[in-house]
Structures are given as structure tokens and as C-alpha cells.
Amino acid sequence: MISMVMVAVGVYARLLKHAEAAMACLAVDPAILLVVVGVLTFLITFCGCVGSLRENICLLQAFSICLTIIFLLQLAAGVLGFVFSDKARGKVSEIINGAIVHYRDDLDLQNLIDFGQKEFSCCGGVSYKDWSQNMYFNCTAANPSRERCSVPFSCCLRDTDQAVINTMCGQGMQAMSYLEASAFIYTNGCIDKLVNWIHSNLFLLGGIALGLAVPQLVGILLAQILINQIRDQIKLQLYNQQHRADPWY
């Protein structure tokens, strides 16, 4: 049921987007990610649920194999991310830069970036000047946009006394130096902030990873136990049928 809700929400969000914007940033669209995760979750849970109810060995084996693959992929991603931290950092930087380029093309992506910058008190990937990669915020003389050399409002320092958000607070910040801009916006990039947050919350992330791994391992174990019980029942039935057909039994 949860996976079906995820798919429905993802499809609904996708249909609300303009066709041009939807095709422009398929790789970074949160709606597409929601649909893909929802479909995969539905298929896996369908195999486990129907396989256990109908005592179908093929579905149970598919359920167990899928959980095993997901667990191994998670384990491999964690190990590779730790061992090749520089490459992982470069991949994250690539994803963030791609999201910056399509910031105005997708409302969901825009809200996601604004949320991340406000939560981590950061701006851009490496620095606030990364927003020059966006065609609207590009800080060149040839850019006719009114937002030239600006940054999103989510980069601005928070004012607790301000009742209404000033969405133009980042106007012209890229034209300023780091010292001048730091009085108005967050100048540090989100990559460093994210890395520091991960380092300071390793126990929390480890607990989350363990919380995700334990149900998967339990599901694999229970599926294998049920498969063995079904096979034992089949063997017992075949044994009884053979002996009933034996005239000397």
C-alpha cells in the first residue's frame, strides 16, 4: 500500500509539470525517483506477500534474491563510498551542479534545493558562486536576466524578526567578495557542510543503516525458512503418494 501511494504521488507530481521542464531534467527529478522506488518496492513486496500466501517457491525465491541484491548493493555503496571518498565527493558535486543548472526548470527540485540550503546553512556546491552555472543567476555581462549575479533566497542569512521572506535578498551577491557577501548570505558550499554533517553523525547514520539492514536480513531468513518448509511438505506428499500406490504398503 505504501509503495502504491508513492507511485501515485510521483505520477501526480510528474503530470503537474510542464512537458518542456519535465524533459529537461529527467535525471534529477524527485518525482521520477519516487515513482521508480515505489514500483520496485511494490514488485518486491508483491512477490513476498503473494508468495507466502500462495506458498509459491518461485515468488519467494524472487523476493529473497531481490532483498539479497539490495542488501549487497547497500553494503557495496557504503564500503565504496568510504574507500573512494574523493570519487564519491566528486559524484555528489556533479549531482549538485546538475541540480543547480535545472533549479528554475522544476518546482520540486527547486523546493528540495531550498530546503537543503536552509537546513545546512549553505549556498551552492563548493561556494555561493556556483550559482553562476544557472542561466538565470549567471554572473556575466551578456546575461539579460534580472537575477543576474544573484543567489536564491534560501542562501540568505535568517532574520528571526522578519515575518515575510524577502525572496530578493540574494540580489547581486555573486558580484561581492566572500567577506562582503558573508554579511548577507551563507558563502560556504553545501558539499563541505554535508561532509561535516556526515562525520558528526556517523553513529546516527550507522543506526539508520542497521535499521534498514536488519528487516532485510530477517525477510531473507524467513523467506528461506518458508521455502524449505514448502519443499519438505512437497517431499512428504510425494512420499505418501508413492506408498499409497504401492500394493504392499
List, for residues 169-196, the tens digit of each pLDDT value: 999 999 999 999 999 999 999 988 888 8
Average pLDDT, the chain: 85
Backbone angles phi, psi at 25, to 5 degrees: -140, 50
Grid cell 531468513 is found at: 221
User: CA-based Rg of the chain, rounded to a whole angstrom?
Assistant: 26
Spans of all domains in the chain:
87-216
- Cβ-proximal residues to 230 (8 Å cutoff; 6+ apart), any chain: 55, 57, 60
Any idea which of 4-18, 68-82, 104-118, 128-142 has the lowest mean pLDDT? Answer: 4-18
User: Given pLDDT bands bounded at 50, 70 and 90, which one contains residue 247?
Assistant: low
Which homologous superfamily is 87-216 in?
Tetraspanin (1.10.1450.10)
